[in-house]
Chains A and B, each alone.
Chain A
């Protein structure tokens, strides 16, 4: 990587395992650094999504009846199924890493492909069913949102809920698409035998990212789909 014609430091006697990066002293340091780096990056993601969660919390406190109305218009079945799909993809991702750790190349590839399939299924359900239906029902802000009269006084703020629904699930979906691409690259690398029980850091680090995206959804599901109660309507709203 370095554009160096400089002499190779003579004190550096260790062999060069595959994937070793020259700025480190040994693979252990490289692995730890990579892991810490991904966690620090995930903290930035916590703050990035966090801005949306923070504003969501504030507006929900201010406009709870409107948020309840909006939430009830979402399809819980799709939300729950998608949650299960995503948790399943986390399992397959963890199993892919396990397979690499135990030197099973084929299994690694299979589990990575399964993860991609589940991720794609999630996106398919979301875009093809949920979002399309929402558009036809006129609950997409900025695209012909129709405030129903039966919403009463809480009506004008219902678009606010849907802003959050689309922004948050949209941003989440964008992260899934990025994760999907990363998985594609990893699958190719695994297929070419680049991972061994000694070197599987890219899998582990990408796994962290994928699990994080799963965690975001774990919070999005109850916060968007399950507020306002699905039981008999309470007074108002």
Chain B
């Protein structure tokens, strides 16, 4: 049965990178970057995730179907987040309906 054997050195190297990124993200949290804090934290988290997925979970050596499955999973989560967030954040945008009398008085010259 074919299974790609990843060398131990690679695993250790990825491990070291993950630890470094952990220290980085913890350190950055103590620096005021305003809104960038969140962006940086998420970027680092995504990078760590990709390292785990590609190397520890062997996706780098896996068939394309595996990648499609993973992408589909995240895409669907994005649908849930995006549209629910769109509702929550735009609720206040609705114009308050005017009563008819006010509308008519606006239209009819006095």
Chain A residues with Cβ below 8 Å from B15 are: 87-88, 90-91
Number of A-B contacts (CB under 8 A): 143
Instruction: Say which size band chain B's interface belongs to.
Output: 35 or more
Tell me, rounded to whole Å, the shortest Cβ–Cβ distance linking A138 to chain B.
Answer: 25
CB pair B80 A222 closer than 8 Å:
no
| Interface positions of A from 184 to 218, Cβ below 8 Å from B | 198-201, 204, 207-208, 211-212, 214-215, 218
Q: Does A175 contact B (CB under 8 A)?
A: no
Q: Does A21 contact B (CB under 8 A)?
A: no
**A53 and B48 contact, Cβ closer than 8 Å, known pairs A87-B19, A222-B25:** no
Q: Which residues of B contact A (CB under 8 A)?
A: 1-3, 5-6, 8, 11-12, 14-15, 18-19, 22-23, 25-26, 29-32, 37-38, 41-42, 44-45, 48-49, 52-53, 55-58, 62-63, 65-66, 69-70, 72-74, 76-77, 80-81, 84-85, 88-89
Q: Give 18 CB contacts A-B under 8 Å.
A: A31-B1, A31-B3, A39-B70, A43-B70, A46-B77, A57-B85, A61-B85, A76-B26, A84-B19, A94-B55, A98-B11, A101-B5, A211-B53, A211-B56, A222-B29, A222-B42, A226-B25, A229-B30
Inter-chain pairs besides A36-B66, A211-B56, A231-B32, 5 sampled, C-beta below 8 Å: A84-B19, A201-B1, A218-B49, A222-B29, A222-B41
